[in-house]
Amino acid sequence: MLTKLRSYWDYGNTFCGIEITIVEGKEKLFGVTAKKKQGEFTDLEFLQFPSLKDVDKNLSVQRHCFLAINSDKVLIKSVPSQENDPKTVSNAFPGLSLTDFYYEILKTPKNSIVAICRKDYVHNILKELEQQKINVLGFHLGITSLQSLASLFKKEKVNLPRFLISVEEKNIMNIVSNENYSETIYELEDIKVASEFLVSLAILFRYTGANTNSSNNFGEENKNLFRLHQEKVFFKNGMFLGIGLLLVSLLVNTFFFNSYFKKEQQLNEELVFMESQQVGMKSKLERVNQKEKLVDHILNSGSSRSSYYLNSVVALKPSSIGFSDIQYHPLNRSIRPDKQIEYSQNNMIVSGESKDKPDFSKWIVNLENLDWVEKVSVLHYGNLSKGINSFSITIAIKNESKN
């Protein structure tokens, strides 16, 4: 049961396999769609698409498929098997760059059938289908997927649009170019299938996890395609499921609870509102009183000495220095109605412009020699324009008890 639910969640009730191939020198697309009942594919429908750009017009709501790329852009050779895949590919196509090509190797009891294709060609196909909002769950090259049907063929020769396939002991054994193709009808377990639909039917079995005994260098790409499909399904189904649960919960709340608690909720809201109003007014009055006291303290404490400090700073200023801003007891941050006023006590910030750096340095030294100055810190000194530097300094004032 869980397997069926998982399958329905991922794929719905319609499955699809598509092959891109060549028939009489022209690119053709063949597809097979099916339902699934009791673990078997049923209600097979055989489709032929006008072109790659028209696939979406023939698919159902479940817009996903497995793809077999078998056009003339896919080169296939049968070679003796080597000790590893790269050597097998190199034996079939010497000097091939695996950076630019995808490969897939179908391993048979006697040899290896190697299919290669440029990566950019594959990606362009995937991009075109993605633009049609068709999720490709995975792709294969050449006739590799046909191995899934090899045990069902009663004839030793299988006639395909591009190749003539030899089948022995339930395995694909050899592959040669088919120069004289003509449509052949095959009977596979009481199902009649035209030869041009064999590969698209075979790749349909990828939904069941059928193993073709092949290896390739695009496994991660296929994993990414399937993961992207799952993410889209999760988002789509999860959204509908979430909306459904929300609607159900709203209906339950409306029918069973709303009529009983509406009046009580209204009274509680009024009570909470009145209490919050009282608390809010009291809190605001307290904040206003605190800020008023703080402002009065700042004004009263600073008025007695601020003029003396400012006069001392100005008296020592050389002519090459000009002031643009002087802050006595500067605020640490801007005043906000809902925040406590924070200011820097016993500090003065002086900003302006300097035309002579030696004069500026001498002025700093003179300031530090004042008996009421604790420390002078240069916050900023930098070029403003030609021959003029902007500056900002902090003068720390000694506590009045120390003066």
User: Does 218 score more than 60 pLDDT?
Assistant: yes
Domain spanning 304-397, CATH architecture: 2-Layer Sandwich (3.30)
Judged by average pLDDT, the poorest of 9-13, 182-186, 198-202, 264-268 is 9-13
Q: What is the pLDDT of residue 170?
A: 86
Q: Is the Cα torsion angle 125, 9, 212, 87 positive or negative in sign?
A: positive
Give mean pLDDT, residues 41-49: 90
Rounded to an integer, what distance in angstroms lies between the CA atom of residue 9 and that of residue 5? 6
Q: Which residues contact 64 (CB under 8 A, 6 or more apart)?
A: 11, 16, 134, 135, 136, 137, 229
Q: Determine what percent of the chain is predicted with pLDDT higher than 70.
A: 82
Q: Tens digit of pLDDT for each residue in 63-107?
A: 899 999 999 999 999 999 898 999 999 999 999 999 999 999 999
Q: What is the pLDDT of residue 59?
A: 79
How far apart, in Å, are the Cα atoms of 187 and each of 42, 68, 205?
A: 15, 22, 17
Q: What is the pLDDT of residue 242?
A: 66
Give mean pLDDT, residues 43-50: 91
Reported as a pLDDT band with limits 50, 70 and 90, residue 223 is: very high
Q: Which residues contact 39 (CB under 8 A, 6 or more apart)?
A: none
Q: Which residue reads 């900003």 in tokens?
A: 351
Every domain of the chain and the residues it spans: 2-217, 304-397
Rounded to an integer, what distance in angstroms lies between the CA atom of residue 333 and that of residue 344? 10
Q: What is the pLDDT of residue 9?
A: 57
Is 321 or 241 the better-scoring residue by pLDDT?
321
Q: What is the pLDDT of residue 66?
A: 94
User: Does 401 score more than 60 pLDDT?
Assistant: no
User: Does 1 score more than 60 pLDDT?
Assistant: no
How far apart, in Å, are the Cα atoms of 401 and each of 204, 298, 302, 346, 398?
A: 91, 17, 14, 12, 8
| Cβ count near 389 (within 10 Å) | 18
Give mean pLDDT, residues 343-350: 81
Q: What is the pLDDT of residue 282?
A: 79
Give mean pLDDT, residues 101-124: 94
Predicted TM-score (pTM) of the model is 0.58
**3-state SS assignment for residue 56:** helix
Give mean pLDDT, residues 355-362: 91
Q: Tens digit of pLDDT for each residue in 135-190?
A: 999 999 999 999 989 888 887 889 899 999 999 888 898 899 988 888 899 988 88
